Structure 1
Amino acid sequence: MSLFWRLFLGTVVTLLVFVLVLAYTPITVSTRASTGEMIVLLAGLSVVYVINAVIIRRTLAPLARLRQALTDLDSPRPDLTVPVRGADEVAAVATAYNLMLDRLDRERENTMRSSLSAQEEERARVSGELHDQVGQSLTVLLLRLQMLSRAVPPEFAGQVEDLRDGLRQTLEDVRDISARLRPGLLAELGLGPALHALVADLTAHTGLDIRLSMPSGWPRGDSSPEQDLVIYRVTQEALTNVVRHADATAASVEITETRDSTDSTDSTGPTGLPGGLSLTIRDNGRGIAGDPGTGITGMTERARLVRGRLTIDSEPGVGTTVVLDIPASTRREERT
């Protein structure tokens, strides 16, 4: 039984017993109440019940909102705070909950930032080892095979050349993996050239028709390195999923500038705070079936890191659309 019904039924029983005692026992009255008096008394009692129910429900409404917010605590909803009205005990509980939520958000954000930072550091370390150690070792082997090709009998020259071709391809693959693990263009030239290079590389190696669209003059230098990295990694992960799982023939990457509307929801309308960003990756593949996998979880965590929102719309046989929205208010906070 809910708290409302426990309080309400307790009041109902108490008042009903009081009225019956008042009307029918000789302790309080000398004569038994008439039928008309009982009707008036019960009507008044009903009015008291209705007023009492309204007061109890309005008093407990903040607790219901607080219970729902606690239920949704792990959901991806952007705002889980509850409104605080008045200065009573319920308002104090709501205030304490909002403070706890702010603290949890900060701790979660710091944890995600540390985790993703550790991932990037590990990617950079592995990329460096692939480039400096594995790459150099393969290069030395290529040189030795070149020297060997001059010394072997002619009947073995073709086999040595095949080995050299395979080794060259392996070296090229290692360099590609190293570049994907640590996008040097992102730090050197910025997000725009890095995205162009990413799309060109995937198109060249997979044959997938990928179209990249972004506003003229973008990026404008109004985002933080952390936001640029999130946009790059989400694009990279989404396109990698398309190549590996979608069986698609075409994909598109579209970046649009948005505005925050006055009600703090993302909007591309003409009013609101400018400077927001929307990243959309679409494909014409088979869609997502079953478990979305860890890649989507990683993209969602990166979106939360910059207080953005990641949405995925997938229809079997039609394709998948991944949208990353970063509101203008967040982008301005990151810059300051």
Structure 2
Amino acid sequence: MRDAVATAPEPPGRTPAQALFRRLFVINALVFAAGTFVLALSPATVSSPVLLTEIPVLLIGLALILAANAFLVRASLAPLTSLTALMRRVDLLHTHDRLPAGNRDLRGVTDTFNQMLDRLEEERSVASAQALAAQEAERGRIARELHDEIGQSLTVALLALKRVRDRAPAELADELGHAQEAIRTSLDEVRQVAHRLRPGVLEDLGLTSALTALATDLSQTGTVEVTRRLAPGLPPLSSEVEL
């Protein structure tokens, strides 16, 4: 039998909080060590009790230590300021707004936040596509019902009214003709509504023909002037993008 060799598990990595604590501790230790080293090599001395002439020297040294410490700590915490600003202005409708990596100890925080933004944008895109698909499916169903059911019912009524008009007395011909025209107008309106809900030209003839038809329809309304410029040889697009 071969002897099994047990290996010790690797220690887990530091958490962002532990890494930040270590960084701040090292910064403060280095600052105070440098201050102690400079004080030890300088000709300045401190008496006991402290003399008035020594107080300015102590204050200047303390101010330099605090200034150096504040500068280094602020540089270390700069990514947190950027993170807070990004969290306030982030807008998932405008993508590609990401936080720079920053220093090594806070890179885990910034990377996690950027990954969260990536995940949220991906989920928003998927949700938008699903909502669009559901909406178009519902519009298509309503358009088919308008065209197949109501449209056919109006067509049957129009044909029946025509037969009645052919056999009706002459004094009723005009009234039946007005009724026919009203039904014919209603049938045209139903067809237009169904067409606006789900234009079949997009599925049957493609995006270029659909845009041409849409521009033509808008021009015929007389409310807006449309200039149509469509480049030839457009690349193929997905159905969601074309819609």
TM-score, normalization: structure 1?
Answer: 0.55
156, 161, 180: which one aligns with 1:140: 156
Identity of aligned residues (%): 38
Max radius of gyration: which structure?
A: 2
Residues 1:182 and 2:198 are matched in the alignment: yes
Contact 2:208 2:230 in 1 (8 A): no
Q: CA deviation at 1:75?
A: 5.4
Matched residue, 1:53: 70
| In 1: Cα distance, 2:162 partner to 2:155 partner | 11
Once residues 149 and 101 of structure 2 are traced to their aligned partners in structure 1, the CA distance between those partners, rounded to angstroms, is 60
Q: For each residue in 1:83-107, what CA deviation from the matched residue of structure 2 results, as whole angstroms up to 9, or x when unmatched?
A: 112321x221111111122111121
Q: Any conservation in 2 of the 1:199–1:210 contact (CA below 8 Å)?
A: no
Letter in structure 2 aligned against 1:209 = V
* Structure 1 residues 132-173: Cα deviation after superposition (integer angstroms, max 9, x where no partner): 111111111110111111122222211111111111111111
Show the 5 A alignment for 1:1-336. Answer: 31-74=48-91, 76-88=93-105, 90-204=106-220, 206-217=221-232, 220-229=234-243
Give, in whole Å, the separation in 2 of the partners of 1:56 and 1:159. Answer: 91
- 1:30 to partner: Cα distance: 5.3
Conserved? CA contact 1:130–1:175, under 8 Å: yes
**Residues 164-185 of structure 1: per-residue CA shift (max 9 Å, x gap):** 1111111111111111111211
Count of aligned pairs? 202
Contact residue 84 and residue 91 of structure 1 kept, 8 A? yes
**Cα contact 1:196–1:212 (8 A) shared by 2:** no
Question: Which position in structure 2 is the counterpart of 1:331?
Answer: none
What's the offset of the Cα at 1:215? 4.3
Structure 2: runs of 5 or more not aligned: 1-23, 33-45
Q: Which amino acid aligns with 1:106?
A: E
- Amino acid corresponding to residue 214 of structure 1 in structure 2: R
Deviation of the 1:203 alpha carbon: 2.9
Cα RMSD over matched residues? 2.4
Distance change >3 Å, CA 215–CA 139, structure 1 → 2 = closer
Q: Which amino acid aligns with 2:242?
A: D
User: Structure 2 length as normaliser, TM-score?
Assistant: 0.75
Higher relative contact order, chain-length normalized (CA < 8 Å, sep 6+) = 2
What letter corresponds to residue 228 of structure 1 in structure 2? Answer: E
Distance in 1 (CA, whole Å) between partners of 2:219 and 2:186 is 19
Higher strand share: 1
Q: 1:136–1:221: structure 2 CA closer, same or farther, 3 Å change rule?
A: same
* Paired residue secondary structure (2:225): strand
Partner Cα separation in structure 2 for residue 69 and residue 75 of structure 1: 12
State the one-letter code of the partner of 1:227.
V
The 1:77–1:34 alpha-carbon spacing in structure 2 relative to 1, beyond 3 Å, is farther
1:118 Cα deviation from its structure 2 partner = 0.4
1:75–1:220 Cα change, 3 Å: closer
**Aligned 8 A contact 2:218 2:226 in 1:** no
- CA pair 127-215 structure 1, distance change in 2 beyond 3 A: closer
Q: Distance in 1 between matches of 2:63 and 2:94?
A: 42
- 1:71 deviates by 2.3
| Cα gap change, 1:49 to 1:144, in 2 (>3 Å) | same
Shift of 1:207: 2.0
Give 5+ residue unaligned stretches, structure 1: 1-6, 16-28, 230-336
Q: Secondary structure at the match of 1:162?
A: helix
The one-letter amino acid paired with 2:71 is V
